[in-house]
């Protein structure tokens, strides 16, 4: 399969306000348009982008983004805060940007979000399995420790001497 998005797709997804999002600058590069053109199309069709599809990052969120991601350092001196698109917002972009490349990129991005969710689910299931295994091991160690303590607690009864009796002892 000839993929338009490189395997390092995870670095394009960030978390803000409880949403997994992609930033307008990254999306513009993927779609092959300028960030300004992407924002213009969004503003022309703003009714398609409610708050849970797209939101503007605050100055503090932008600073956090620039601090954590070196490739977005150009945003540091920008007077305009970036737009963050949720999975549904990225999907809506395909109806706003109507090129063949935009459609193909959008399909790949949707697959990326799906793989990301699957990875998170796998990690959660793995965590549950590890916790179950940990509980079983704790039970086994507790049982063994109780048995060892019981052995140490037993009083040693004097044993009958083995061998020859000396002086009727």
Query: In this structure, is residue 73 part of a structural domain?
Result: yes
CB-hemisphere CA count at 13 Å for 129?
Answer: 6
Q: How far apart are CA 166 and CA 75, in angstroms?
A: 98
Q: Report helix, strand or coil for 162.
A: coil
| pLDDT given at position 168 | 62
pLDDT 10s digit of each residue in the chain, 169 long?
344 444 466 678 888 898 889 899 888 888 888 889 889 999 999 998 999 899 999 999 998 888 888 778 778 888 888 999 998 888 888 778 777 777 777 777 778 777 877 877 887 788 888 888 888 888 888 888 888 777 766 655 666 777 777 776 5
Number of folded domains that form the chain: 1
| pLDDT given at position 3 | 43
| pLDDT given at position 6 | 46
Query: In this structure, is residue 86 part of a structural domain?
Result: yes
| pLDDT given at position 84 | 93
| pLDDT given at position 71 | 79
Torsion on CA atoms 52, 116, 84, 64, rounded to nearest 10 = 120
| pLDDT given at position 169 | 55
Query: In this structure, is residue 101 part of a structural domain?
Result: yes
With a CB cutoff of 8 Å and minimum separation 6, the contacts of 101 are: 4, 31, 32
Q: Which domain holds residue 115?
A: 8-124
Query: In this structure, is residue 131 part of a structural domain?
Result: no
Query: In this structure, is residue 141 part of a structural domain?
Result: no
Query: In this structure, is residue 37 part of a structural domain?
Result: yes
| pLDDT given at position 83 | 92
Angle between helices 100-153 and 87-96 (to 10 degrees): 170
Query: In this structure, is residue 164 part of a structural domain?
Result: no
Query: In this structure, is residue 133 part of a structural domain?
Result: no
């Amino acid at each position: 399969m000839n993929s338009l998005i490189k395997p390092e797709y995870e670095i394009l997804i960030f978390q803000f306000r409880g949403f997994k999002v992609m930033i307008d600058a990254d999306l513009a590069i993927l779609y092959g348009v300028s960030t300004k053109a992407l924002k213009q199309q969004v503003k022309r069709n703003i009714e398609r982008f409610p708050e849970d599809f797209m939101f503007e990052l605050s100055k503090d969120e932008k600073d956090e983004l620039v601090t954590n991601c070196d490739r977005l350092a150009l945003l540091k001196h920008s007077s305009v805060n970036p737009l963050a698109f949720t999975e549904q917002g990225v999907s809506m972009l395909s109806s706003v940007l109507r090129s063949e490349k935009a459609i193909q990129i959008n399909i790949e991005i949707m697959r990326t979000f799906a793989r990301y969710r699957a990875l998170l689910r796998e990690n959660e299931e793995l965590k549950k399995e590890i916790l179950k295994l940990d509980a079983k091991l704790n039970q086994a160690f507790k049982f063994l420790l109780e048995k060892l303590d019981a052995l140490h607690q037993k009083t040693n009864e004097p044993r009958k001497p083995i061998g020859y009796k000396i002086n009727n002892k």
